[in-house]
Amino acid sequence: MCTAATYLTDHFFFGRNLDYERGFGERVTVTPRSFPLPMRHLNEVTQHYAMIGMASVQAGYPLYYDAVNEKGLCIAGLNFVSSAAYRPCPAEGRGVAQFELIPWLLGSCAGVDEACRLLEGVCITDDAFLPGLPPAKLHWLLADRQRCVVIEQTADGLHIYDDPAGVLTNEPPFPLQMFQLNNYAQLSARPPENRFSPALPLRAYSRGMGAMGLPGDLSSQSRFVRTAFTRLNSASGTGVAEGASQLFHILGAAAQQRGCCVLEDGNCELTLYTSCCDADTGVYYYTTYDSGHVSAVDMHREELDGAALISYPLDDVWHVRLQN
């Protein structure tokens, strides 16, 4: 399971938790402008915007989990196993394979509005990337500084939903996630008032009681509510350090610790990494489960007019600074 969120100060930040029981050799990967993007049902894209994000590189191709392009358009794919419905490419219309969607949108579009127009009439297809590697069932959070949307293809077709909460988790479909926020309209970051009865001398005996009832479990619906509350009530100063730090804290409210979510086979789901990309500067920050140290890759220090992928293994060493 996963959680993704946006955060806006004087910079625009986009990040996610990747929650799973094991990794797939993911690396921070830069796709330069001339790296060819073959398409199963459309013409190959030979020139496009550069992008950086987390990807598993298979057969020389970046299977992105989340990424940002040089124009500040960001996207993350999250598990949507019960509801995602891909189809064969229609005889009429345009088909985009699930694994092509992120590089195709980021390579082609400078913003969300342009991406939404590009998606008109598109079917996300069920093509496997390789034999034995079926398409992951996902939905996507797509955002820029001005707008945030959710992309879902379910049994009744492709949907694009505006996302005023700036958050996405997994199941259920996004409209149901948003509807559940109605159950928490009484929550507040401020101290509670006694509305139970004026006949009783009820008082707040602790700080933070205005948010009593905020769900604390690890289910996707509860993580959606908790992250939306944290994000929408979050406050930070300006500058990269404060904004990025705040988004790491927002996502930390939904992080999974080893041993707290045990799967049927006995493995434990945990937050393998947390990312935070500064969409204004093209710097991709991340932490891993075994390292609270923030690492960063700046895509503008790479050769963005090249044709070869650039990728970096994750820095998952536990960094400890000792005082003399």
Best CA proximity match to 289, nearest among 269, 274, 311, 267? 274
Q: Mapping DSSP to helix (H, G, I), strand (E, B) and coil, where does residue 209 land?
A: helix
Best CA proximity match to 267, nearest among 10, 8, 22, 61? 22
Catalytic residue among 2, 74, 123, 148: 2
Cα(289)–Cα(28) distance, integer angstroms: 16
Q: Mapping DSSP to helix (H, G, I), strand (E, B) and coil, where does residue 184 land?
A: helix
Tokens 């293994």, located at residue: 313
Cα(277)–Cα(5) distance, integer angstroms: 11
Phi, psi angle pair for 178, to nearest 5°: -65, -40
Q: Mapping DSSP to helix (H, G, I), strand (E, B) and coil, where does residue 101 land?
A: helix
Question: Which two tokens mark 236?
Answer: 């930070």
Q: Mapping DSSP to helix (H, G, I), strand (E, B) and coil, where does residue 29 land?
A: strand
Which amino acid is residue 308, in one-letter code? A
Helices and strands in the chain: count of H runs, count of E runs? 5, 16
Best CA proximity match to 40, nearest among 137, 110, 124, 120? 124
Secondary structure (DSSP) of 210-278: GGTT---S-SHHHHHHHHHHHHHT----SSHHHHHHHHHHHHHTT---TTSSB-TTS-B-EEEEEEEEE
Question: Which two tokens mark 55?
Answer: 């990807």
Q: Mapping DSSP to helix (H, G, I), strand (E, B) and coil, where does residue 54 land?
A: strand
Is residue 89 among the annotated active site residues? no
Q: Enumerate the active-site residues.
A: 2
